Amino acid sequence: MLSNIFRGGIHIPNPYPVKNPKIVKVPPPEKAVLILQQKVGGQAKPCVEVGDKVLTGQVIAGTSSQYCVPIHASISGTISAIDKQPIPHPSGIDAMCITIESDGKDKWVEKEECGADFLSCKPEQIIDKIRSAGIVGMGGAGFPTHIKVSSVKNANTLVVNATECEPGIMCDDSLMQNYPREIIRGTEILLHACSAKKAIIAIEDDKQEAFNSLLMYNHNDKITIQRIPTKYTSGADKLLIKSLLDVEVPAGKHPSDIGVLCHNVGTVKAIHDAVIDGRPLVSRIVTVTGSGVEDPKNYEARLGTSFASVVSQSKPNKQKHKIRMGGMMMGVDVNSDQYSICKITNCIFINNFEPEPQVNECIRCSSCNQVCPINLLPQQLYWSSKSESIDKALEYNLDNCIECGCCSYVCPSNIPLVDYFVFAKAVNKKQINDAERADIARQRFEYREFRIERNMSERAEMMAKKKKALKEKMAKEKQQKDKIADAIQRVSKSKENKDA
């Protein structure tokens, strides 16, 4: 077991453990709503039209930029709409979605697979497979996986993050118990693609079953399965790397900058499916849990399935519910169960409605400072974020906050600290954006002034030249005239002389 685990963080036992780790397959839905915008990267461009017939796994929206991933039909049927729909996001902003009405057949497109012989594929081919399967970080970050794999410089270690990012979420645990072979295979594929020398699968010590299953299938001596103490935020990339390898990822840098590649197990399974089976990302494992359901469980659901149709299988009670996408710490509250499951929906919390606890003034107890796993000073950050002194907050390393919510969790005054930090970060982003825009405008304005002045001086120069040429011409003409006059005079003079 590891000793150099980070300071801070909190222990929260899983409040609603599942009784049965089996993954329940939810049948393909009647209607699938697929979001074109992922958490990172541009919006995918639809390449189908309303009324088109599509097959499961068919690309329905292509990439618009390097960071963008394609979207695949998650059921077969007819495209019924391409428009803006409400999505599970705190802003309540509608986003472009493609809606498919099922034909009930779930007929797949022809799959193009690499097969089991992935070692004969070049790393670039594998990375391209990952991109065209539409894979993004499945742990919740949603970062495009092909970018992560191809950007790593001199990879030395591959870390597979099997720590279950937050208490309450169980999708990774059940994934490992149900698909250990695929996960080991996926890890081997990634090792081949990034040419790292070793891989570490990091798993929390409370997941004995999952650990055993992985151990049973691992026959590769490049892959080690490492148990780490169960403590919240140990799954954060940088902290995990610190505890596993005892190296620090500098602030503002990515693990890939120090040759470490870090992927969630869910992503690794998706990579396996894409490379070995040629199956694009059209479904994912979702945990449904919380005080409002009788039977917390893990489901495998097609992307675009509504929350409600998955939740209904977990026997929700009749009370009023508070719904949250993602974990109890880092998730977002949503106001309806009609949203659809997207690539980063790892968990749906259904909690019985309870009034929000009373928020009080900060009593300067410093509890928040003690739990912050990044060693920030949330109390100071709170004051500066609340007063919108973003510069001050940046001095207290606002940038480094991983929005884990430990500070909010322990605050005896119930201050939603992390919400303030999310706010301050958004304001900071806007300030940077505005400054960039202003710089562009300044440059363009100055260039225009310069251009107008240049045009004017060029014109003036041209005019001066023309004038000069005219003058010269006139002078020449005058000379000519003078000469002629001279000659006439001379002639008449000589005539006179002759006459005389």
Partner 1 sequence: MLDSILIFSILTLILGLILGYAAIKFRIEGNPLVNQIDKILPQTQCGQCNYPGCRPYAEALAKGEAQINQCPPGGQDGADELADLLGVEQIPLNTEHGETKEPMVAVVDEQVCIGCTLCIQACPVDAFVGSSKVMTTVIAKECTGCELCIPVCPVDCIDMVEIQPTLGTYIPNIKDIAHA
> Which residue, 316 or 405, has its beta carbon nearer to ligand SF4?
405
CB-nearer residue toward ligand SF4: 95 or 427: 427
Among positions 116, 335, 389, 445, the unique one binding partner 1 when judged by CB under 8 A: 445
328 contacts ligand SF4 (rule: CB under 6 A)? no
Contact 196, 261 (CB under 8 A): yes
Given partner 1, ligand SF4, none, residue 438, with its beta carbon under 5 to 8 Å by kind, binds partner 1
Binding of partner 1 at residue 91 (CB under 8 A)? yes
Q: Which two tokens stand for residue 331?
A: 């998730």
Enumerate the β-bridge partners of residue 381. Answer: none
Which distant-in-sequence residues (6+ apart) come within 8 Å of 37 by Cβ? 43, 44, 95, 96
Q: Which does 353 bind (CB under 5 to 8 A by kind): partner 1, ligand SF4, none?
A: none
SS3 helix, strand, coil % of the chain, rounded to 5? Answer: 40, 20, 40
Alpha helices in 19-170 (DSSP H): 123-132, 145-151
Residue of 23, 60, 193, 404 that binds ligand SF4 (CB under 6 A) = 404
Partner from partner 1, ligand SF4, none contacting 419, C-beta within 5 to 8 A by type:
partner 1
Out of partner 1, ligand SF4, none, what residue 423 binds, judged by CB under 5 to 8 A for its kind, is partner 1
Q: Which is nearer to partner 1, 88 or 235 (CB)?
A: 88
- Going from the C-alpha of 202 to that of each of 188, 234, 235, 268, 400, the distances in angstroms are 15, 10, 9, 13, 23
Q: Which is nearer to partner 1, 4 or 91 (CB)?
A: 91
Q: Which two tokens stand for residue 409?
A: 């969790």
Q: Which of 84, 315, 448, 478 binds partner 1 (CB under 8 A)?
A: 448
**Should residue 388 be labelled a site residue for partner 1 when binding is judged by CB under 8 A?**
yes
Q: Which of 25, 111, 253, 429 binds partner 1 (CB under 8 A)?
A: 429
- When CB distances are held under 5 to 8 angstroms depending on the partner's kind, the choice from partner 1, ligand SF4, none that residue 454 binds is none
Cα–Cα dist 318/294, whole Å: 11
Retrieve residue 237's tokens.
Answer: 């990339």
Find the DSSP H helices in 137-264.
145-151, 171-178, 180-194, 208-217, 237-245
Q: Which of residues 400-419 bind partner 1 (CB under 8 A)?
A: 416, 419
Closest CB 459 distance from partner 1, rounded Å: 15
Q: Decide: is 89 part of the binding site for partner 1 (CB under 8 A).
A: yes
Q: Of residues 341-370, which lie at the interface with partner 1 (CB under 8 A)?
A: 356, 359
* β-strand partners of 83: 97
Residue with tokens 């100071």: 380
Cα–Cα separations (whole angstroms), residue 195 to 100, 130, 143, 150, 186:
40, 16, 21, 11, 14
Given a contact cutoff of 8 angstroms between Cβ atoms, the answer to whether 188 and 223 are in contact is yes
Task: Compute how many residues bind partner 1; rule: CB under 8 A.
Answer: 32
What is the x/- site pattern for ligand SF4, positions 357-396, by CB under 6 A? -----xxxxxxx--xx-x-x-xx-xx--------------
Stretch that binds partner 1, among 91-99, 173-181, 294-302, 318-326 (CB under 8 A): 91-99
Contact 321, 291 (CB under 8 A): no
Largest CA distance in the chain: 144
Q: How far is the CB of 414 from partner 1 (least distance, A)?
A: 9
CB 154 within 8 A of CB 311: no
What is the nearest approach in angstroms of partner 1 to the Cβ of residue 344?
A: 13
Alpha carbons 352 and 97: distance in angstroms, whole number: 30
CB of 141 to ligand SF4, least distance (A): 15
Closer to ligand SF4 at the Cβ: 266 or 373?
373
Instruction: Provide the minimum distance between the beta carbon of 50 and partner 1 in the complex, in angstroms, as a whole number.
Output: 24
Contact, 43 vs 12, CB < 8 A? Answer: no
Backbone angles phi, psi at 116, to 5 degrees: -70, -15
Residue 426 interacts with partner 1 (CB under 8 A)? yes
CB 180 within 8 A of CB 213: yes
> Applying CB under 6 A, does 418 fall inside the site for ligand SF4?
yes
* Binding residues vs ligand SF4 (CB under 6 A): 362-368, 371-372, 374, 376, 378-379, 381-382, 401-407, 410-413, 415, 417-418, 421
* Binding residues vs partner 1 (CB under 8 A): 37, 89-91, 93, 95, 356, 359, 386, 388, 416, 419-420, 422-423, 426-427, 429-430, 433, 437-442, 444-449
